Structure 1
Amino acid sequence: MKTKLKFLVLLPFFALLLFTSCQEETVDITPPDEAEALVADSQLTSFLSATSKNDGSKDNIIDGTSCISVKLPVVVKVRGVEIRIDSEADYIKIKRLYDEFEDDIDRLDILFPITIITSEHEEITIGSAEELSEFIADCKDDDEEEEKEIRCIDFQFPISFSVFDRDFQIIEVVEIENNRQLHRFMKRVKKSEVFASLNFPLNMVLKDGTVLTAENNEQLREIIEAAKDSCEEEDDFSRERLENYLKKCPWIVYEFKRNNQENDEFKQYAINFKDDGVVTMRSRNGDILTGEWELERTRRGIAIEMEFENLADFTLKWLLYDFEDGKIKIYEAGGNRIILKRNCEVVVDITKERVKNFLKECFWRVAELEVNDTDKEEEYIGTPLKFYANNIVKIRVNGELVEGTYEVLVRNTGIGLEINLEGRPDLKLQWLITFLSEDEIELKNADNEMELKRHCPDNDGDLNFILDALVSSEWEVASYIDEGEDETPNYKDYVIGFNQSGMLFAEGNGNDYRGSWLAYRYDGLNLALNFKTQEAPFNELRYRWKIKEITMERIELKDYSDNGEIERILVLERRVI
């Protein structure tokens, strides 16, 4: 709670005794008996101290830890966008940017220097991300276990203390307005610098907003103890829930950083947390590594410890700093961080039969293709593959199916896939399957990589509507904005059409372009346009566009940069004859 400071500075106990004879005004408070006085080493004193510690959990979306909080205002950068956080209400701005795209890595960068507030309400200036990581790694709660921070209950301020001498004569009444003042006051009580008692009644507020009233020390102690136990039960549930959640499905490495260095080698590694402390990991080349794991509650939070005999980079006690549905983030001091995403469809045990069954389900589109360090996937926009029985594979190009053959291979290094399609040398390679799930297959050989994404349009109502809308009429470019420049006039007098077979055409100004199109679902709805030409202006429209709006009369498509900013907008409208 952040309220205006009205704290009356107290003198040490021995000095306060000198002023008792100087009291002239009468304080209208009944002097407490000795039982109501706060004792330095009592449980209630420890409870008051623990309850008044700074709650660092509210801003975990910024710093990823509950042992500190970042003093506001602070400026952060999320997905390339700078945001000024002036109050706790502004945290929602970060969450909204995180939620804008489902299939991305949520990354937040703090603009340093910043001021952090420890659990003891101390303010410390931090000058860099490395310095912050080191501090978080070392920060702890109080050494006394009974004084671990109690977060699920708070005082309803203001409250007041009566300060008195050895003869129980009141010498001062101190009003406390917030947790910071209370924590500092309790430090003096614990050091026997002041002799004081609380003035009742006072109210306590639980996490759910329930207000409880205490009339004396014993009632207050019982209220805090009950709340403290509920916090511990909540921690136990979180740990148990996390353990079961980790074991339920495989987890894929989406980001790996060790000693502040990103290592793409470990991307797409699949991790299986199993019973009895066993963890298995499948590397990108199909190797299976077995190790040990366990969850441990530490003063800095829940830690996931992994140990592999032949994989030192993962062998560490990783602290959990973000846990949400489908994604966890873990870190350790020195710039070490792993982001894992859950994928219940990942297949760790890849077999020939399983691959063959997967391939024959639906279409597969070439999402990524790199051959000899050159990106080739643009050539396959809108041209999905279909694998049939009897080792027949077909690719749909300009609305026509081009036939070839394929074979699932068993090699010493794992399960492979050979594709033979005439006129498609980039695919005519023997690929090693390094990743397999219900919706995705990743393949690799030498310096080449390919990623196939499953495309199943038959039972998708949205895709069927898009198909009906596109083929129902001809279309015109109503607007094309490229990085703020209006290039719509370049498409004047052109007519665009979509055939149900997957053929795309554009006619006008003496030109006739043919190509392929495909509407598909991946992180939302998309429309792939592939005009088979290098000539302007239609070469610019070869892209996998995000569908932001579509009706029978109008289609709005957008192209986003890596940081989520809109770079291009293409609007097609039904042609009126």
Structure 2
Amino acid sequence: MKTIKACMLVVLGIGLMTISCRTEDDLAIDPPQEEQIEANSAIANLVSRTVANDGSPDNIIDGASCLSVQLPVTVTVNGIEIVINDSDGYEDIEDIIDLFDDDVDSVVISYPITVILVNFSTVVVNSDAELAALAANCLDDNEDDDDIECIDFQYPITASIFDDNNEVIGTITINSDSEMYDFIDDLEDYAAVTMDFPITVILADGTTQTVNTIQELENVIEDADDTCDEDDDNDFDDDDCDNCTTSELADVFNQCAEWTVDKLERNDQDLEDNYEGYFFSFGNDGSITVTQNATTYTGSWQASGTGNNIDVVINIPSLPDFNATWNLHEIEQEDDEVEVDLRLGDDRLRFESDCDDDGDVDDADLVNALTTGDWYVTNFTEDNQDETGVYADYTFNFFTDQTTTATNSNGTTTGSWATDSDDGELELLLNYGEADPLDELTEDWDVVEVTNEIIRLEDADDDGTVDTLTLERTPFDGGTTDTLADYLIDGLWFVASYVEDNDDQTADYAGYELNFDVAGTVVASNGNTTNSGTWSVLNNDTQMTLDFGAAMPFEEFNDDDWNVISSSATQIVIQDVSGGNGGTDTLTLQKI
């Protein structure tokens, strides 16, 4: 009967673990010393910490790494009630919190809830006060969340139980962390216990390791401790790039031909509205090309590091708002929308792109859009010259027989169109013959973007310039407004960027404020030096003149045929192409 009673004791101590008992006829066996695990030993403590309930994944709800909330649970996040059924729900909470940057976030729990403690026992909690008290208590008891999260056991694991006579009285099959925790907690009830080696452990990087003795197990757990980010803090954003790599970022940038600025905040100023209509392209060679109407800006980008510590260095001399060493905060891909979120302290920069995951534009989408309804040229640049206005009164139609017509008040010109993707990239081939000015559109265009409302095309010349053609559903409205003069005289301006023949000279104008008056006088002053000049707007706001005489450094701006690239109440971009060496000067004025 001794054997039967011993079996019953084991069953009571181990709970749900599987037991198989030896008979009284079994011979005594000395437990192998290298496989024994003793109560309160160093290895027992390490194993207990490894398998303890990890409460950090749901810190966004309870704010405590030493306990977790049993799911499902209902919470109200910034006024939105959601039911959390699994761990994916934690990201749903974070997504709501991330919707706005300047609001006060709140997560309100609907009580009662059941809380799971470190030892896997449960407690019913009825209020925030009870939850806070429970968290404070368990943190104190466990020395501020003492669990080890960088290593896991691969189950099942078996153990043998011995009595005082060194007889094996039972074996235990352990199938989970909670069963292992109970097993370690009950060690003092047994005369001797051995682990059945070899066992397998899983490291934080996903690799496995075979362990053959208790000493080896102790060493591997100690070595693994603190080798990963256990995410025990309450910074819910800091793990968004746990698995990010520089190659993944490069792939994402390569998949999408054009990126726009979804968010740009520098020094508590929201600047994204200043960059509407700017399209960014990130090259595999570390180059950045930015196009805005007929203007092209160039720069560079570079990424280094791993995980949540990837630095992204952006340098676009003509667009200083973007220049910094940013931290890659998140890469988010959902359906066809991709976002790359960068942070620098409180500053934020987020690029977004609507593109297919494989980076390709679908031929069928192009044909369907092209052959439906009227199209108008809203942007055409050739050799860095904006010639959009030439096509302002043309209506373009494309037919399924691959003919196309361009109609204006002088009549209709017929041409042809076709698509080609033999080289892996979709092209739109246009041919309007020698009819002026439509012959300028005759080209094999690379298709950059296709929707039912817009088609963007590009063609790279041998000299590195990129011609652009954009078709939209509404006619060209003239590009620049007829209120350029009104913009200029309304407030003070500063030189946000001045690039002369690829030489960034913006720093020469730091601290200067420009004041344009209605009489055609402009004054540039930095408090110590004042330069006066004249200005005017010509040709329906498509050109601008500036003359500061010999006043340095503003004599660089003296020109009577600046082309107005874009104008708004907050930013004006003008450009001059030298007739001699073909160099390009670009001046960007920003409203103070």
**Per the shorter chain, which TM-score range?**
0.3 to 0.5
- Give the TM-score taking structure 2 as reference length: 0.37
